[in-house]
Amino acid sequence: MSVPHQMKLRITVLDGDGIGPEVTREAVRVLRSVANLHGHDFSFENKPIGGAAIKTAGSPLPVTTVDACLESDAVLLGAVGSPEFDSLVPSERPEAGLLLLRRALGGFANLRPAISYDAIAAASPLRPTIAANANILIVRELLGGLYFGEPRGTTGENGNSVAVNTMTYSVPEIERVARVAFSAAMKRKGKVTSVDKANVLETSQLWRATVSRIARDYPEVALDHQYVDACAMHLITNPRGFDVLLTENLFGDILSDEAAVITGSLGMLGSATIGGKVGLYEPVHGSAPDIAGRNIANPFGAIASAAMLLRYSGGLDREADDIEAAIKAVLEEGYRTPDIADAGSGYLATTAEIGERVAEAVAEIADVHRAYHAV
């Protein structure tokens, strides 16, 4: 019999704005349940980010927050952003805090799985015959492109203003994220679709040439290329045609919200940012100010992010699998937030009720493992 190993993980929790605190609370609840079940030692330290940090500390990313993140084993984030800061320039907004944090932590590959669950197939506007069994891993480059390119800014005033952003990519930046995508494909269905705009952009031509060259190191993986405009269409008309979708920062931002529609809701998607000093785990959705504070936000994406935290920062594959199995089980039991409620099946549950039920389901699944190993 193998000796269970106890894992110590120091997790910095940045719940942020809007629904961030509501969904993150449930992800932490599930992590605590996993720690209790397996005897792991997970500690949680909350720090401010985004609009909440602007209000309390005068900055969207206080130094004490970055330092705590860099000293921890993993960072779990909710969401940032609020309409009250919409008039600020980009560098002062809550979102700037998140971008600075991403750069400080150094993770360049953002993994965004989009999975169609049978139990909530009716929540997607796509016909079940199209969305059924879709399982796409979007690998989004996270530290380059228009988000970070220089020069950037606005000059001149009023009618004479000119604004500039710069899209830059270097060969090493493309190579490292491409390797993450090919490695992931080897453990999946063995296919990478690289998405670019190589018919117009030099950055995309370099992207395509570099990805094609790296592909030679992965002969088991099939590579194809799509232009981003056509990809936006193929994602919706033939989502099962994708396995790993590799793309640059802005295209990945847009296509991952689109891929969420395949699953039924933006609230379903979790993410992991890897390759840096400390892993960053956050749902794909934003702060959803339109539904904040009402205990109706979908916490499954935040909980899925917690599972990825255990897998990528803790090496706890079994525990991560159990959380993912619990998500599926709770959906099959019929628990629904309004965004995934549909006419035929299920019943409405609050954000907290879903978190509580997933935490219980994780325990039930772990009991089944124990019983199995005892015989």
Contact call for residue 266 and ligand NAD (CB under 6 A):
yes
Residue 138 burial (CB count, 10 A): 28
Q: Quick one: tokens of 184?
A: 């992931």
Site string for ligand IPM, 238-257 (x = CB under 6 A): ---------------x----
Contact call for residue 76 and ligand IPM (CB under 6 A):
no
SS3 54: helix
Give the total of residues touching Mn ion (CB under 5 A).
Answer: 1
- Kindly provide the residue ranges of all beta strands, DSSP E only, lying in the chain, ordered along the sequence: 8-16, 41-46, 74-79, 109-115, 135-141, 153-155, 162-164, 191-196, 222-227, 244-247, 272-274, 279-281, 335-336, 347-348
Site string for ligand NAD, 74-103 (x = CB under 6 A): -----xxx-------------x--x-----
Q: Quick one: tokens of 319?
A: 């525990």
How far is the C-alpha of 237 from the C-alpha of 255, rounded, in Å?
14
Closest approach, Cβ 66 to ligand IPM, in A, equals 16
How far is the C-alpha of 339 from the C-alpha of 349, rounded, in Å?
11
Using the minimum distance from each CB to ligand IPM, give the nearer residue, 27 or 215.
27
| Residue 257 annotated among the catalytic residues of the structure | yes
Using the minimum distance from each CB to ligand IPM, give the nearer residue, 60 or 346.
60
Residue of 17, 117, 147, 196 marked active site: 147
β-pair type (272-274, 279-281):
antiparallel
Of positions 95, 253, 282, 356, contacts Mn ion by CB under 5 A:
253
Binders of ligand NAD among 288-327, rule CB under 6 A?
288-291, 297-298, 301
Using the minimum distance from each CB to ligand IPM, give the nearer residue, 284 or 341.
284
Q: Can you give the binding site for ligand IPM, defined by CB under 6 A?
A: 81, 95, 98-99, 253, 284, 286
